[in-house]
Amino acid sequence: MSTVHWVSARREDAPALLEAKALALWDAAGFSTLIQPNDLVAVKVTVGEPGNRTYLTPHVVKGLIREISLGGGRPFLTDTAPLGESARANAASHALVAHRHGFGLGALGAPFVAADGLSGLSEVAVPVRGRHFQEVRVAAAIHEADALLVVAHVTAHLGAGLSGVLKHLGMGCVSRRSKLLIHRAGTPSVVAARCVGCEVCVSSCPRSAVEMVDGRAWIDPERCGSCGDCVSLCRQGAISAPWEAHGEELQERMVEHAAGVVAAKRGRAAFIGVALDLVAECDCAGKRMMPLVEDIGLFAGWDPVAVDLAIQRMVRQRTGDTLERWAHRAGPALVQHRYASSLGMGSEEVELVEVAMR
Ligand code: SF4
Ligand code: SF4
């Protein structure tokens, strides 16, 4: 049995009230024990793709940053480069978007540091015992940090069903190469119209699989090892990989990466699920979306499985159905919680404790 604390909240709550509610949860969950003097504390957020209006509200994070600093820790805001075309494809662009969306040093009191380095390649291998992987690669800064606080904006998700704490760990805390492995990406291909012939992919391919043909890159499928380095390094976004894993398999692969992230933190990880703006796709979707169900509030605990399940169960209690079914009627069955529990990541038995605000 795992305890999850929660507090009712709405996106329209005044910024100071949201901040106060997050702090009340911090206290109730006993998160101050996460911090030791001079710790580097990774605060995992999603800063949102430009065009998205429902990304994690920074007001939830502001007081937490202050609390970590007061406890003697050195917090930094962090996230990793997404797969596919994005305005956050490299660390410089990612920091710029973070600043514009209110996740900068000036707004929150902590710097934004891309966890996976300049091009999404900085990673550290961690052993796991999964059905699909025996080793996963955690984003370097998250691996190196002394402690991790995940502040996950919860949404539905077309591929994984639900984007909660487990997805923020398994997809959001790993390198781009790992994301490709999670999606079981095959041989990448070059969009010739975008290729400017810089040959970065030619010189960086570990298998010499890229050639220049008529001034444009071409990837030999016989030699390519699907490592994904060229996808990360092409500044023009001209190389993309087909995604082959979907639904339940995708969730299992994602959860095994989440297990690697949690294992790397050796018990020094805490989790907050933000059930506001419960929309159909995660903060990486660069578009406006309408909430599917009413805002619920903020949830906190030391068990990522329990935090996600507590939110799922409350959505069902209030609406009669699950978030992913409200969003994608024909979406995948959710297996991520059960699989994570079977890997020892947490419990499916949840004690929910409401935190009252004075
Ligand atoms: S890195 Fe991109 S732009 Fe440069 S040659 Fe390769 S595909 Fe073309
Ligand atoms: S995916 Fe890896 S092996 Fe394949 S072409 Fe790109 S860099 Fe080379």
For residue 256, the model assigns a pLDDT of 97
> Residue 327 to residues 54, 69, 251, 275, 332: CA-CA distances in angstroms?
15, 38, 17, 15, 11
Choose which residue among 121, 187, 189, 190 to substitute to test ligand 1 binding: the one with the highest number of ligand atoms within 8 A of its C-beta: 190
Q: Calculate how far, in angstroms, residue 22's C-alpha sits from the geometric centre of ligand 1.
A: 45
- Ligand 2 pocket, residue 278 CB under 6 Å: no
Output the residue whose Cα is nearest ligand 1's atom 4. Answer: 198
Query: In the chain, which stretches have pLDDT less than 50?
Result: none
Residues of the chain with CATH 3.30.70.20: 189-240
> Residue 266 to residues 111, 133, 285: CA-CA distances in angstroms?
24, 19, 32
Q: Which of 261, 269, 257, 306 is nearest to 130 (CA)?
A: 257
- Ligand 1 pocket, residue 201 CB under 6 Å: yes
Q: What whole-number distance in Å separates Cα of residue 15 and Cα of residue 318?
A: 25
- Ligand 2 pocket, residue 49 CB under 6 Å: no
- Ligand 1 pocket, residue 219 CB under 6 Å: no
Q: Calculate how far, in angstroms, residue 94's C-alpha sits from the geometric centre of ligand 1.
A: 21
- Ligand 2 pocket, residue 188 CB under 6 Å: yes
- Ligand 2 pocket, residue 58 CB under 6 Å: no
- Ligand 2 pocket, residue 234 CB under 6 Å: no
Q: What whole-number distance in Å separates Cα of residue 182 and Cα of residue 137?
A: 11
Output the residue whose Cα is nearest ligand 1's atom 2. Answer: 234
Third-level CATH fold of 2-182+244-354: Rossmann fold (3.40.50)
Q: What whole-number distance in Å separates Cα of residue 198 and Cα of residue 202?
A: 9
For residue 321, the model assigns a pLDDT of 84
- Ligand 1 pocket, residue 205 CB under 6 Å: no
For residue 344, the model assigns a pLDDT of 95
For residue 358, the model assigns a pLDDT of 65
Q: Return all residues near 353 (Cβ < 8 A) that are at least 6 apart.
A: 3, 4, 5, 6, 28
Do residues 115 and 137 make contact, with C-beta atoms less than 8 angstroms apart? no
- Ligand 2 pocket, residue 207 CB under 6 Å: yes
- Ligand 1 pocket, residue 190 CB under 6 Å: yes
- Ligand 2 pocket, residue 230 CB under 6 Å: yes
Q: Which of 32, 42, 19, 15 is nearest to 112 (CA)?
A: 42
- Ligand 2: atom nearest CA of 228 is 1
Amino acid at site 157:
H
For residue 242, the ligand closest to its alpha carbon is 2
Q: Calculate how far, in angstroms, residue 254's C-alpha sits from the geometric centre of ligand 1.
A: 29
Question: Which residues partner with 335 through β-bridges?
Answer: none
- Ligand 1 pocket, residue 158 CB under 6 Å: no
What class does CATH assign to 189-240? alpha beta
pTM of the model: 0.89
Q: Calculate how far, in angstroms, residue 209's C-alpha sits from the geometric centre of ligand 2.
A: 6
Residues of the chain with CATH 3.40.50.11440: 2-182+244-354
Q: Calculate how far, in angstroms, residue 246's C-alpha sits from the geometric centre of ligand 2.
A: 22
| Backbone phi and psi for residue 79, each to the nearest 5 degrees, phi listed first | -165, 175
Rg from Cα positions in the chain: 20
Do residues 323 and 278 make contact, with C-beta atoms less than 8 angstroms apart? yes
Count of CB atoms situated within 10 Å of the CB of 111: 16
3-state secondary structure the chain: CEEEEEEECCCCCCHHHHHHHHHHHHHHHCHHHHCCCCCEEEEECCCCCCCCCCCCCCHHHHHHHHHHHHCCCEEEEEECCCCCCCCCCCHHHHHHHHHHCCCCHHHHCCCEEECCCCCCCCEEEEECCCCCCCEEEEEHHHHHCCEEEEEEECEEECCCEEECHHHHHHCCCECHHHHHHHCCCCCCEECCCCCCCCCHHHHHCCCCCEEEECCEEEECCCCCCCCCHHHHHCCCCCEECCCCCCHHHHHHHHHHHHHHHHHHHCCCEEEEEEECCECCCCCCCCCCCCCCECCCEEEEECCHHHHHHHHHHHHHHHHCCCHHHHHCCCCCCCCHHHHHHHCCCCCCCEEEEECCCC
Q: Calculate how far, in angstroms, residue 202's C-alpha sits from the geometric centre of ligand 2.
A: 9
Q: What whole-number distance in Å separates Cα of residue 228 and Cα of residue 121?
A: 10
For residue 194, the model assigns a pLDDT of 92
∠ CA(45), CA(301), CA(313), 5° rounding? 95
- Ligand 1 pocket, residue 249 CB under 6 Å: no
